[in-house]
Chain A
Amino acid sequence: MLKSPRHLFTKHRPRLPIALLALTAFCTLCFGQSGIGSGGPVLLTEANSTRAVALESLTLQRDPFPVISPSLLSSDRRTRIAVFAMNVDLYTGEAANAFTAEAEASGPRIFPLKVESVSRVPGFEGLTQITIRLDELMADAGDVLLRISLRGMTSNRVRIAVGHQGGGPPDDQGAIPTPAPEIPPAPRPLVTPNPYTGPATLADTVRFLEQATWGPTNAEVARVRALGFRAYLDEQLVAPVSSYPTMTLMPTDSNQGCQGASVHDCLRDNYSMYPLQTRFYKNAFYKPDQLRQRVAFALHQILTVSGRDMNQASWMVSYLQTLDRNAFGNFRTLLFETTLNPAMGSFLGTAANNKQRPNENFAREFLQLFSVGQDLLNADGTPQLDVAGNRVPTYDQATISNFARVFTGWYFAPPPAGAQGVINFIDPMMVIEANHDTGAKMLLNGTAVPPGQNTLQDLNAAIDNAFNHPNTGPFISQRLIRQLVTSNPSPAYVERVAAVFANNCAGYYPDSSCTSARGDLGAVVRAILLDPEARGDFKTDPDYGRLREPVLFISNICRAFNARGIGPGINNIVESDGYLNPQTVRMGQDVFRPTTVFGYFPSEYNVPGAGLKGPEFGILSSSTSLTRAGFGAQMSFRSIPMFADADTPNGTFINLTPLQSLADDPVQLVGALDALLMHGTMSPTMRDAITQAILVVPTSDPNHLRNRTQSAVYLVLTSPQYQVQR
């Protein structure tokens, strides 16, 4: 339906120079200002204004554009416009879905727009034509500011008129005309992927460690910088697993399990999540298998079991071990093992599920949350739409009923040898064939399960069916990207990672020992972290990043400042006791006790008014935003005190002493915090605000080094800029 750009620019050849070159003033110096040219695309404008060089894609009319196309050649009646960009560097195969576009109308109202095609401008190979579909709700908006983004780098914002010219938001501060240069820019070669085998930059190393670990430390930044990301990932894939030790299964009745003088400790250590939560934080603070822990915690938020319904910590351990064991393994194995895990069996009711009135709990969440997701997806994770523009369900209630019948016949294994009167939450569930529904079943994509199969055969058929469904790669890849890197990945990013999910020899970074296997999570994680949309010293796209969820907020602070506790005796500095969960509970995240199978926060949460996904914002509320600030104050100025005979045997404090030596010079102090905590992205206003605040403490104050350092750290930790990992 769209004419090819070649047609457009060859047949109407004279128009292009009129459209572009006649508007031109040579302007190579312009791009040094106002962020333009700092790595993002540059949209072309008229010579003397920020109005874009933009053409209706069929009629080649300039703006103002109607939102409903005047051309009968547009089958859906939507207007497409072509804009032109410089500085667009593409990888092989990179196309329209690598770009996002957005227009801001007065209000402000934000319209995310779809980039439909991208091509080199024939005869001007250094320019890129970008075709964007307008939104019918823009109607008669007047002037809007349009920008495009590529791999987390945004363009300048240029003005286009919709409906009529005039009005609209003011130009961005410092915005300047960016006309096409008189000498057409040279063609840009396709980008070669960085192998990340050599040393890395400081800023990108900090960013990388924010994504791959529980938080950068100065020592680890220096080490990984020298080592390179690829070698670090290789090291992490084989690092010893810290995980959780198997615990003794206790009697279900805690009155029976805990008697005598130390009932409080006994209940805490066996009948609550305390031992797992403290272990979680200690592993995060101190253990070397950082990436495995991050991925396992991400998987916990995808294949969720909640300890809320668990009587004992011991009941959760084999589930957590399963996540740790399979974090870099195969997703099919993970699906199989979590399905038969007794904690999952208890949580979602597969244990004791019987062919007579099977419950649909596990069946529904297995499909909706653990594997295929509820809407059919394109390879890049965007929803498929039917002719009416509606999403297409992956399954219906009948499919759920059929899967529910598949998941019948399982029960807890007998108690381990020597343990009587306990439920076996250590070994996988076992089959009771008599309880299994052996009728025929219909799975996804019209796959039939023949009648007469046994419980395990049916289970394997269902898991293969979901694992091999085309949705599963993009669905799981997108969830993992959101957990590790950014809440709003471009479709192209999801597509690249999903391709690796489908085949571990695909992508830019296959391992030499790859086998074309599907579901290789280690390869998926590597592809996520080395992707060009993840990497780089900084990102300018205002949509980029993810809110630090409470556990990451805390772990990043504690690791950055070498958190420690106080042991018995004198001057006995030991590890933190890891009792940080009360802090995250107040921020809305109760570790291993999410409210439901949907996890700690909704994976599709929309940030109000932003037009963006931001799952972690689901638990950022008026209250919890201030609780975070309170934690910043507590750790900067005070500590979590130890109470030797309570649940806080060592407490937790952070060590600001190394920073204090810089505090005579605010520039150095703020710079050090900026580098370690914000990879050099702190805004000038924020630097100045911190500097002014700490200068209130005069050098004549005998404690000025400490007080200044505390103030500076507090102001960084409580800043909105720090809340978002970018």
Chain B
Amino acid sequence: MRQGACALAGSAALAASVERLSLVRVLARSTFDAANTSDYKALVCVFLDGGNDGANTIIPYDDYNAPGGYASVRALPGLAIPKSDLLPVTPPSGHGLKFGLHPSLVELQSLFNNQKLAVLCNTGTLVQPLTRALFQSGVGHPYQLFSHSDQVNQQQTAVATEPGQTGWGGRISDLMTGVNGAAPLPMAISTAGASLFTTGVATRHLVINPEIRLNEVLRVDYGTDFPAGSLAARRIAFERIRNDGGGKLVNAAADTIGQAVRAGEAIPTDPALPPVQAGQTDFPDMKLGNQLKQIAKLISVRANLGVHRQIFFCSLEGFDHHTSQHNAFNGHDVLLLQLSRALKAFYDATINLGVADQVTTFTLSDFGRTFEPSGTGAGVGSDHAWGNHHLILGDAVHGGDFYGNYPTLAVGGPDDADDRGRWIPTTSNDQYAATLALWFGLAPADLPAVFPFIGRFATPNLGFML
């Protein structure tokens, strides 16, 4: 009995530190074959911050009016998109059933129809495969489900049991950083602030501001060179002081500055992107467009920087529409418009740079939103939920189809975690991420180091990548 109690306590203590164990694994492994990698690949994460309403992004078309379904739940409060406005698509895996994209996604409909864009349905943070019965019996609940901060965290850490400290992009960077040799830029780069996604155990990300010319983003202002020679003297002192160190927080600030200085010296001029061709979309001069443009510029100088693998993170905020989801200022329709145009512009840029089959762009988001709306009329919105639909874009994507399982749109139905249409994910975020990581070149043996729960799910490869 006592022995049993000990064993229980021991295994529980281990369970509570899944992420920390995976950190050890990451540090212990370094199996990536750097010498044999001469090609280039990039992963670009587009985070839809606040929780994108997937139920209004990918909508049943043929089943629009099914009893208890989309129109019956969302039309009366005023959240439904009119059927006539939907942009229909016919995924081969849908057995002939049509779905509709949100009317803002004109460019994405065309990319889907050209097999460049795939949709992954009802994916989310999971500790283990679940059913409604299992979930309601208290089994397998991710830590702080439905909370913004924690679900953003788990989407980016791929550890759904605890508040993690490193992201899966960062951990891939830890394992594969050798492939970039002594490149002056780290593998992981964020244009959306100090993201967890790009934070590694040992490797640090670069965080750049999207609105300024790339060569000016990372420039140090050493002041006026008057009298002559004083600037050079300050520059030397600046470096000495920065390398001097202090407490841990001082050192962290110094590291951040140092990495910026190094990267800035490596990018002396603002790269020019190839001109936009007929039929292509230019980057919208908005939040997401500017970030993706900056990323395209960084990709354009990959050869000069000597990098073979890059991981980017950008984000579009404002998706937390508890109320007034349709508002014309920052409503869902407006944000998706920006998303569609920015993704198309970025895809076009990768064509012009000759890397459309080497760059894969994908979405993440805090969570989906309740199928059942909150409020009514102009104030209508939706609350925090769980499983969500995601988009994967690029020439290396098996596009033009849906993956995963579209949920049964029934409040209190088999996919509902409770009674408001919070879909229990039928695909784990870990599987989604692992599929991307495998394409990127992460060794299959290294998957558990980056995705500690991957072994609990049916397959680490969902098949949406070529």
Q: Which of B110-118, B215-223, B349-357, B454-462 contacts A (4 or more CB under 8 A)?
A: B215-223
Q: Which residue of B lies closest to A708 (CB)?
A: B230
Query: How far does the alpha carbon of A56 sit from the alpha carbon of B390 in the complex, in Å?
Result: 53
Q: Would you give the shortest CB distance from A658 to chain B, in whole angstroms?
A: 20
Contact across chains for A607 and B234 when beta carbons are under 8 A apart = no
Q: Would you give the shortest CB distance from A635 to chain B, in whole angstroms?
A: 10
- Residues of A near B404 (CB, < 8 A) are none
Q: Which of A76, A388, A622, A696 counts the most chain B CB atoms within 10 A?
A: A622
| A424 close to B (CB within 8 Å) | no
| A719 close to B (CB within 8 Å) | yes
Contact across chains for B50 and A617 when beta carbons are under 8 A apart = no
Contact across chains for B148 and A359 when beta carbons are under 8 A apart = no
Q: Would you give the shortest CB distance from A551 to chain B, in whole angstroms?
A: 17
Query: How far does the alpha carbon of A339 sit from the alpha carbon of B209 in the complex, in Å?
Result: 35
- Residues of A near B149 (CB, < 8 A) are 368, 598, 602, 604
| A673 close to B (CB within 8 Å) | no
| A683 close to B (CB within 8 Å) | yes
Q: Which residue of B lies closest to A389 (CB)?
A: B16
| B252 close to A (CB within 8 Å) | yes
Q: Which of B163, B199, B206, B252 counts the most chain A CB atoms within 10 A?
A: B252
Contact across chains for A617 and B252 when beta carbons are under 8 A apart = yes
- Residues of B near A389 (CB, < 8 A) are 9, 12-13, 15-17
Contact across chains for A358 and B374 when beta carbons are under 8 A apart = yes
Q: Which residue of A lies closest to B163 (CB)?
A: A604
| A32 close to B (CB within 8 Å) | no
Q: Given A137-B20, A714-B223, A359 and B264 touching (CB < 8 A)?
A: no
Q: Given A598-B149, A617-B252, A107 and B193 touching (CB < 8 A)?
A: no
Contact across chains for A614 and B252 when beta carbons are under 8 A apart = yes
Which of B220, B234, B320 is close to A693, meaning CB atoms less than 8 Å apart?
A: B234
| A317 close to B (CB within 8 Å) | no
Chain B 381-408 per-residue mask, 1 if CB under 8 angstroms from chain A, else 0: 1011000000000000000000000000
Chain B 1-23 per-residue mask, 1 if CB under 8 angstroms from chain A, else 0: 01001101110111111001100
| B101 close to A (CB within 8 Å) | no
| B237 close to A (CB within 8 Å) | yes
- Residues of B near A430 (CB, < 8 A) are none
Interface size of B in residues (CB-CB distance below 8 Å): 98
Which of B220, B241, B322 is close to A719, meaning CB atoms less than 8 Å apart?
A: B241
- Residues of A near B375 (CB, < 8 A) are 349, 352-354, 357-359
Contact across chains for B27 and A349 when beta carbons are under 8 A apart = no
| A685 close to B (CB within 8 Å) | yes
A667-726 interface with B by 8 A CB criterion: 683, 685-686, 689-690, 692-694, 696-697, 701, 703, 707, 710-711, 714-715, 718-721, 723-724, 726
A636-694 interface with B by 8 A CB criterion: 636-638, 683, 685-686, 689-690, 692-694
| A512 close to B (CB within 8 Å) | no
- Residues of A near B230 (CB, < 8 A) are 693, 696-697, 707, 711
Chain A 618-635 per-residue mask, 1 if CB under 8 angstroms from chain B, else 0: 111111111101101110
Contact across chains for B233 and A361 when beta carbons are under 8 A apart = no
Q: Would you give the shortest CB distance from A573 to chain B, in whole angstroms?
A: 23
Contact across chains for A711 and B248 when beta carbons are under 8 A apart = no
| B257 close to A (CB within 8 Å) | yes
- Residues of B near A543 (CB, < 8 A) are 247-249
- Residues of A near B259 (CB, < 8 A) are 622
Contact across chains for A625 and B260 when beta carbons are under 8 A apart = yes
| A397 close to B (CB within 8 Å) | yes
Q: Which of A595, A627, A703, A721 counts the most chain B CB atoms within 10 A?
A: A721
Query: How far does the alpha carbon of A624 sit from the alpha carbon of B165 in the complex, in Å?
Result: 21
- Residues of A near B15 (CB, < 8 A) are 388-390
| B269 close to A (CB within 8 Å) | no
Q: Which of B14, B256, B322 counts the most chain A CB atoms within 10 A?
A: B256
| A206 close to B (CB within 8 Å) | no
Q: Would you give the shortest CB distance from A355 to chain B, in whole angstroms?
A: 11
Contact across chains for B193 and A629 when beta carbons are under 8 A apart = no
Q: Which residue of A lies closest to B417 (CB)?
A: A397
Contact across chains for B218 and A626 when beta carbons are under 8 A apart = yes
Interface size of A in residues (CB-CB distance below 8 Å): 100
- Residues of A near B223 (CB, < 8 A) are 633, 636-637, 710-711, 714
Contact across chains for B256 and A107 when beta carbons are under 8 A apart = no
Query: How far does the alpha carbon of A503 sit from the alpha carbon of B261 in the complex, in Å?
Result: 50
Contact across chains for B246 and A137 when beta carbons are under 8 A apart = no
| B242 close to A (CB within 8 Å) | yes
Q: Which of B9, B12, B379, B383 counts the most chain A CB atoms within 10 A?
A: B383
Which of A385, A609, A637, A694 is close to B224, meaning CB atoms less than 8 Å apart?
A: A637
Which of A390, A697, A724 is close to B253, meaning CB atoms less than 8 Å apart?
A: A724
Q: Given A349-B323, A368-B147, A621-B194, A360 and B374 touching (CB < 8 A)?
A: yes
Chain B 90-115 per-residue mask, 1 if CB under 8 angstroms from chain A, else 0: 00000000000000000000000000
Q: Which residue of B lies closest to A713 (CB)?
A: B223
| B75 close to A (CB within 8 Å) | no
Contact across chains for A715 and B376 when beta carbons are under 8 A apart = no
Q: Which residue of B lies closest to A374 (CB)?
A: B144
Q: Which residue of B lies closest to A586 (CB)?
A: B209
Q: Would you give the shortest CB distance from A706 to chain B, in whole angstroms?
A: 10
Query: How far does the alpha carbon of A76 sit from the alpha carbon of B49 in the complex, in Å?
Result: 41
- Residues of B near A348 (CB, < 8 A) are 322
Query: How far does the alpha carbon of A547 sit from the alpha carbon of B253 in the complex, in Å?
Result: 8
| A588 close to B (CB within 8 Å) | yes
Contact across chains for A692 and B233 when beta carbons are under 8 A apart = yes
A350-377 interface with B by 8 A CB criterion: 352-354, 356-361, 364, 368, 374
Which of A544, A605, A696 is close to B233, meaning CB atoms less than 8 Å apart?
A: A696
- Residues of B near A692 (CB, < 8 A) are 233, 236-237
Chain B 261-280 per-residue mask, 1 if CB under 8 angstroms from chain A, else 0: 10110000000000000000
- Residues of A near B204 (CB, < 8 A) are 608-609
| A513 close to B (CB within 8 Å) | no
- Residues of A near B144 (CB, < 8 A) are 374, 393
- Residues of B near A364 (CB, < 8 A) are 146-147, 384
Q: Which residue of B lies closest to A602 (CB)?
A: B149
Contact across chains for B247 and A715 when beta carbons are under 8 A apart = no
| A487 close to B (CB within 8 Å) | yes
Q: Would you give the shortest CB distance from B437 to chain A, in whole angstroms?
A: 20
B23-62 interface with A by 8 A CB criterion: 24, 27, 49-50
- Residues of A near B161 (CB, < 8 A) are 390
Query: How far does the alpha carbon of A611 sit from the alpha carbon of B248 in the complex, in Å?
Result: 9
- Residues of B near A397 (CB, < 8 A) are 145-146, 418
* 6 A-B contacts (beta carbon < 8 Å): A75-B6, A357-B77, A364-B384, A610-B249, A621-B190, A710-B224
Across chains A and B, which 5 residue pairs bring their CB atoms closest together, nearest first?
A621-B207, A388-B12, A359-B374, A389-B16, A361-B322
| New contact pairs (7) apart from A349-B375, A608-B165, A703-B227, CB-CB < 8 Å | A349-B322, A353-B375, A596-B50, A623-B218, A625-B257, A714-B223, A715-B234
